[in-house]
Amino acid sequence: MTALPVDDGPRAPVSVLAAAFLFNLGQGVLRPALPLYLHRSFAANYRMVNAIPVVFGAGKWIAGLPTGYLLDRLGCSLMIWGLLLIALIDLASIMTSTYGIFLGLRGLGGVGWAMFATVATTAVVDVPTAQRRGRAVSLLLMSETSGLLVGSAAGGWLYEGLGATSPFVFEAACMLVAAVVVARSASLPASPAAPPRASRGRGRLGAILRTPGVLLMGVTSGTLVMIQTGVLVFLFPLYLVTRGGISPRAAGFLISLGVLGRLLALWLGGIASDRWGRMRVLAPGLLAYGATLGSLPLLTDQAALGVCSLAIGVTAGVVAPLPAALVGDQVAPPLRGVAIGWLRMMSDTGQILGPLAMGALADAADLSAPFLLGATLLALTACRCRVGAMATAAAGRGGS
């Protein structure tokens, strides 16, 4: 976990980046249209709407680790099957008139999401040179964020202009095009190298979790996603309107500032960690993220809230690519598929628990409480990362 020299080695596979953009473009188009479709087709109440992301996250959580194990046998074709599964589910979703079936289909969509995302992340962190791994993960996240940004802006227009089912058809088309892009790529291996006999079977996950830094990165990734989904996605817009006293349109603009800041900072986090080392960027980045998040309840002025939203996006973007990059540094290539699958499962745990825990805290205490708790969790994680880095460095000096 020391500083890594910068070189001009191989970069992230372009086909994976293009597929990630198309994948998230479809997801982004569907995101604003899905609640409207539920209300129109099933007369869904708020509880029925909120059940969709829960079952989707559960599908991702269930499939993340098994996908890592299947990667040894199926290779990058697993990514294609995930894309095709989501396309089929989109088409099946608009053909059902039963909410229970629709809910189950969205859960299967989470399985397809895990199949694509786990393999895509593994392909990116598997670049031969660690000196470019941080930037490779950053490029993947930038592709994902760009797709979501464009898709979210177009989703409402498609729903209103082309019909209620058009976002589902558009997402299915994006998945099919992404599958073609991946299938025609010559830069992706059909299957990864087989792991050593001693590392096969159940012992692989144990060996991965005993690798220095891996367990800590799983907790860090889960914490980041928990704050992102539980605080920023669901409660931040509510805070801007109720506490900041601004209009929903202005709140949307301030939130877009945060997305823009995250998009710009993703590259900064990757290249800084490649140059100076993962932990040297991660620990200060987590502290800065926590400081900006914790200062939000002190602000009410619209200009100050805009600056704070931008700062939150920047600090979140700096640290976002580092857990996956560090896991790629620490884990041997034959074990990276399982390691990334486990890391994704930890992230999905945060996605499921974040809205539930932070929403309950806001109801029980105050709307500012989740922001303060998130800041505290980030500070504690930063301290643990710093202690872990120091312990690893001391062990290295002792061994030498």
Mean pLDDT of 224-247: 83
**Domain boundaries, position 36:** 10-191
Is 90 exceeded by the pLDDT of residue 162?
Answer: no
Whether 125 contacts 136, CB under 8 Å: yes
Domain count across the chain: 2
Place of tokens 């939130």: 255
Cα–Cα distance, 284 to 268 (Å, whole number) = 14
Task: Tell me: pLDDT of 388 over 70.
Answer: no
SS (H, E, C) 94-147: CCCCCHHHHHHHHHHHHHHHHHHHHHHHHHHHCCCCHHHHHHHHHHHHHHHHHH
Q: What is the pLDDT of residues 28-84, one digit of tens each?
A: 888 777 777 887 888 777 677 767 777 888 888 888 888 888 877 777 788 889 999
Tens of pLDDT, residues 106-154:
989 989 998 888 888 888 887 766 567 878 888 888 888 888 888 877 7
Are the C-beta atoms of 181 and 315 separated by less than 8 Å? no
For residue 191, is pLDDT > 80?
A: no
Are the C-beta atoms of residues 269 and 263 closer than 8 Å to each other? no
- Give domain status of residue 282, yes or no: yes
156 and 289 in a single domain? The answer is no
Least Cα distance to 347 among 65, 34, 25, 69 occurs for 65
Residues 6 or more apart whose Cβ sits within 8 Å of residue 59: 106, 107, 108, 109, 110, 111, 113, 114
* Residue 314: alpha-carbon gap to chain centroid: 16
- In a domain? residue 196: no
**Which pTM does this prediction carry?**
0.80
Among 168, 191, 214, which residue terminates a domain? 191
pLDDT averaged over every residue in the chain = 82
pLDDT at 272 over 90: no
Report how far residue 67's alpha carbon sits from residue 70's, in angstroms, rounded to the nearest whole number: 5
Could you identify the residue written with the tokens 């558009």? Answer: 170
Q: Is residue 345 part of a domain?
A: yes
Cα separation of 167 and 37, whole Å? 10
End position of a domain, from candidates 159, 191, 223? 191
| Same domain (yes/no): 231, 152 | no
CA 157, 158, 164, 170 torsion-angle sign: negative
**220 has pLDDT over 90:** yes
Q: Are 186 and 285 members of one domain?
A: no
Based on the fold, state whether residues 212 and 149 are members of the same structural domain: no
- Let me know whether 87 and 125 are in one domain: yes
Whether 377 has a pLDDT exceeding 60, the answer reads: yes
Is the domain of 251 the same as that of 107?
A: no
Q: Are 306 and 254 in contact (CB under 8 A)?
A: yes
Q: For the stretch 163-174, what's the b/e string if a residue is b when 16 or more beta carbons lie within 10 angstroms of its beta carbon? A: eebbbbbbbbeb
Same domain, 95 and 172: yes
Percent of the chain with pLDDT over 90: 21
pLDDT, mean of residues 173-192:
76
Q: Coil, helix or strand for 301? A: coil
CA-nearest of 114, 110, 90 to 102 is 90
CATH code assigned at 57: 1.20.1250.20
Let me know whether 272 and 130 are in one domain.
Answer: no
Q: How many CB atoms lie within 10 A of CB 161?
A: 9
Q: For the chain, how many residues are written?
A: 400
pLDDT tier at 202, thresholds 50, 70, 90: low
pLDDT at 9: 45
- Asked, for residue 1, whether it belongs to a domain, the answer is no
Whether the predicted pLDDT of 187 surpasses 80:
no
Same domain, 67 and 136: yes
Q: Round to whole Å and give the CA distance between 90 and 30.
A: 10
Asked if residue 377 and residue 349 are part of one domain, the reply reads yes
Residue 280 — pLDDT band, cuts 50, 70, 90?
confident
Asked if residue 77 belongs to a domain, the reply is: yes
CA separation for the pair 304, 317 (Å, rounded): 20
Q: Has residue 213 got a pLDDT over 80?
A: yes
Are 94 and 169 in contact by the 8 Å Cβ rule? The answer is yes
Choose the final residue of a domain: 162, 191, 220.
Answer: 191
Q: Is residue 5 part of a domain?
A: no
pLDDT at 359: 82
Alpha carbon distance, N-terminus to C-terminus of the chain:
16
What would the pLDDT profile of 25-39 be if each residue is shown by its tens digit? 888 888 777 777 887
Structure tokens at 347: 């992230």
In a domain, 332, yes or no: yes
Examine the domain organization and report whether 185 and 240 are in the same domain: no
Whether 400 is covered by a domain: the verdict is: no
Report the alpha-carbon distance of residue 40 to residue 34 in Å, rounded. Answer: 10
Retrieve residue 73's tokens: 């046998």
Same domain, 171 and 211: no
